[in-house]
Structure 1
Amino acid sequence: MEKGIGGHPFPHFNVPLTFRGKFVVTIHDMLMHRSRGLSATTLPAPLYFLKRLGYRIVFDNAVRKSYSILAPSQSVKDELIAEYNLSPDKIKVTYEGFDKKISGGNNIDMPKPYFVFTGNAYPHKNLQGLIKAIKALNTKSEHKVFLAIASARNIFTQRVEKLILDTGAKDYVKILGFVPDEKLGSLYKNSIGFVFPSFSEGFGLPGLEALASGTLLLASNIKVFREIYGDNALYFDPKDVESIVVAMNMALSVGSDARKNKISKSIRFVNKYSWAKMAEETLNIYYESCNSLRPGK
C-alpha cells in the first residue's frame, strides 16, 4: 500500500515526523510507556531521558496521526484506547503467529529436572522474581530443580548473573546465552515447563513456542497472557515470589498421563495462531484502508 494509492503501511511506530501522507501503523506493545528508570537502559541518565522524550514524541505522533492502527492483542488495543482516548474502531487486532519449526531440534546439555526461560533479560521480564522463586523452591525440595535461561549475553544478562550470585542461586541457575532456533524445541520439550514471569507484554510468542514444543506453560496472570493462552497455562502473580513457587510445584506434581493430556490439548490449541493468518488479515486491513483513503472516498 503506497502513498500514491491512498496510504502507507508502517510496521513499527517510528513514522517520520515529517511524513505528511495517510498511513496505517502497527503498535506491537506499550512496554516503554510502562518500563521506566535507569535499570531499563544502558545509557547515562541525560541521554536516557532525552531518548524517552524522543520516543514519546514519535510514538504519540504515530498513534494520533494514523488513519488506522494494528495491534497484536486486545490487551494492547485496550491500553491504547485508555492512554490516548481513541475510538475502538481505529484499532484492529491481528494476532501474531509463531515459528512451528522450533518444535523440533537437537538436545542441549542441561541437568534435569529443569524449568526454562527464553528471551531478553530486560527488567519487565521479571527474571529477578523467577530467580528468587527457583532459590525458594530448592530450599523446600528434597531434590535439586534447575532453571535454564536462554538469553543473548549483554549488560542485562550480566546484571542477572550478579543477581544469581547475590541471591545464592548459582547452584540452580544456568545461563545458556543465545540458543539458536534449531535447539530451542528440545530445550522446551525436555523441561518441566516454560516460565514466563513478565510484568507486561504485547503478545507472548515464546509461550506459544513452548506449548507447541510439548511442555507446560507457567505464566504471569497479566491480562494479555490470559487472552493469548486461555486455560493452557498455570498462572501466578508475577509480583509474588511464593505464587511463582506454587505454580512450579504444581507443574512438578502433574502426573504423567495428565501431563500428556494437557500438552496434547495445548498443541491443538496453538494451531489457531499462524503468521499466514496474520499476514492475510493484515493485508485485508491495508486494502480496506487503501479504498477508504482513495480520493473521493
Structure 2
Amino acid sequence: MAIIAVNTRLLISGRVDGISRFAAETLKRIVKAHPEHTFYFLFDRKFSDEFIFSSNVKPLVIWPQTRHPLLFRFWFEKRIPIVLKKIKADVFVSPDGFLSLASNVKQLAVIHDLNFEHFPQYLPSHIANYYRRYFPLFAHKASKIATVSAFSKQDICERYRIKEDKIDVVYNGVSTIFTPVTPEVKLQIQKQYSQQTPYFIYAGTLHPRKNIVNLIKAFDRVKTKSLLPHKLLLVGSKMWWTDEMQYAYNEMKHKHDVIFTGLVSDSEMANLMASAEAMVYVSFFEGFGIPVIEAQSCDVPVICSDTTSLAEIAGTSAILVNPSNVEEIAQAMIRALEPQKRTELILNGQKNVLNYSWNKTASFLWESIEKTLHV
C-alpha cells in the first residue's frame, strides 16, 4: 500500500475548469480504482465534500491560501515538506506542476504547457516572473513529468533540456455531458441566448492569448461580406479583457451581433456548445485545447489554429487556420456552414473524439504515478 499525497489546492467548488478539471476528472477515477492505496488531498482552504471521491481519500487543509508568489513559495517550500514527512508520503503528485524543491519525496509534476514562457506579457509580471524562474527548477526536480500533448512534451524537453523518457504524454479527456442535443433544445438555447438566431461559439477565458481580437475582426468581416444572420457567442470570463480587445470590439460594424454570456454552468456550457453552428478556437498558443473535443463530441464543426498543440489534437477533423490571418479565419467560418463541408467536419470529429476520454487520461496518469513510485 502506498501513501500518495496530491496537491489539490485548485479543487474549488464552482471553479472547476482547465487544470482543475483535469485534476478532478482523473483523481475521482484513480482513487476509486485503487482502494488499496491511501490518498492525502492537500487543500489550501476549506474544501467541498464533492472532492472527497472515495473513503481512501484523507483531506488536509494546509494554511495559508496560495494566491501570490510569496505564498506559493511558503506553501510549497515550508508547509508541504513538513506535511509530506508527517504522513510518510511515498510520492507527491501535483496536477498544476508546482513542486516542493525542499522535499526529498518522489514527485510527479503535471506541466500542462509553457504558455508563460512564450507569452509572458499576457500574465501579471509577478506571476510570469515566478513561473519562469521556478518551473525550470520544478522540471528538473521532478522524478517524472506528465503533460497533455506531444507538442508540450517537445516544448518542455527543448526549453528546459529534459530527457524525453522523463516525460509521459497524458492527453486530456472530454466530459460525457458534451453530447448532441435535439432541435427543440437548440431552439430553446437560441431563444435564451442568441435572439432566436444561429450562432458561432467561442468557449474559454477572454484572454489575449486566445486571440479574441482576430476572432471578432473575422466575424465582423463575415457579417459584412455575407447575408448570414449568425451571432457570435463569447462564453467565458472577461477577467483578462484588454484595451486592445475593447478597441477591436468598438471598431466593429456588427458589434450588436456579439453576445457575451459570461461564465455559465457546466450543463449550460454543454447545451450552448451543442446548439452552435460551429466552434471557433483560434488561439495563438495551447497546450491541448479541450473545447475542440468538447465541440466535436456535440457534433459541432470546429475551426481552430494550425499552431502549437491544436493541429495535433484536431488533426484533419477541423478546419485549420493561421491565427494571425483574419481573412483566413473569416473564410473558414463561412466554409464550416456549407452543407457538404459541415457533414464532413462532423463525421471526422466523431472519429477524432474516440481518441480522448477521462477514463484513458486517468489510466495513463496512474501509469505515470506508478513509474514515479518506482523511480
Please classify the TM superposition score into its range, dividing by the shorter chain length.
Answer: 0.7 to 0.9
Write the distance in 2 (CA, Å) between the matches of 1:154 and 1:287: 38
> Match for residue 157 of structure 2?
81
> Match for residue 204 of structure 2?
119
Write the distance in 1 (CA, Å) between the matches of 2:127 and 2:263: 27
Number of residue pairs aligned between Structure 1 and Structure 2: 282
In 2 relative to 1, CA 142–5 (structure 1 residues): closer, same or farther, beyond 3 Å? closer
> Match for residue 295 of structure 1?
none
Q: CA deviation at 1:36?
A: 2.3
Write the distance in 2 (CA, Å) between the matches of 1:56 and 1:240: 29
Q: 2:364 is matched by which residue type in structure 1? A: E
Q: 1:244 is matched by which residue type in structure 2? A: I
- Range 157-166 or range 231-240, more displaced: 157-166
Q: 1:11 is matched by which residue type in structure 2? A: P
Identical-residue share of aligned pairs (%): 26
Write the distance in 1 (CA, Å) between the matches of 2:352 and 2:300: 13
> Match for residue 167 of structure 2?
91
Of 234, 237, 248, the match for 2:319: 234
> Match for residue 272 of structure 1?
355
Structural mapping, 1:31-50, within 5 Å = 31-37=115-121, 40-41=122-123, 48-50=124-126
- Structure 1 residue matching 2:317: 3-state secondary structure: coil
Write the distance in 1 (CA, Å) between the matches of 2:148 and 2:339: 32
- Range 282-291 or range 8-17, more displaced: 8-17
> Match for residue 113 of structure 2?
29
- Equivalent residues of 1:35, 1:124 under 8 A apart: yes
Larger RCO: 1 or 2 (CA < 8 Å, sep 6+): 1
1:291 has 2:374 as partner: yes
- Structure 1 residue matching 2:99: 3-state secondary structure: coil
Structural mapping, 1:37-186, within 5 Å = 37=121, 40-41=122-123, 48-103=124-179, 107=189, 108-111=192-195, 112-156=197-241, 160-186=245-271
- Equivalent residues of 1:102, 1:181 under 8 A apart: no
Q: 2:156 is matched by which residue type in structure 1? A: L
> Match for residue 103 of structure 2?
19
In 2 relative to 1, CA 120–182 (structure 1 residues): closer, same or farther, beyond 3 Å? same
Write the distance in 1 (CA, Å) between the matches of 2:127 and 2:177: 37
Q: CA deviation at 1:162?
A: 4.9
In 2 relative to 1, CA 254–227 (structure 1 residues): closer, same or farther, beyond 3 Å? same
Root-mean-square deviation over aligned CA pairs: 2.2
> Match for residue 45 of structure 1?
none
TM-score w.r.t. length of structure 2 = 0.70
Q: 2:213 is matched by which residue type in structure 1? A: Q
Write the distance in 2 (CA, Å) between the matches of 1:50 and 1:117: 29
Q: 2:222 is matched by which residue type in structure 1? A: L
Q: CA deviation at 1:119?
A: 0.3
- Equivalent residues of 1:121, 1:160 under 8 A apart: no
Of 263, 273, 283, the match for 2:346: 263
- Structure 1 residue matching 2:232: 3-state secondary structure: strand
Structure 1 gap segments, 5+ residues each? 42-47, 293-297
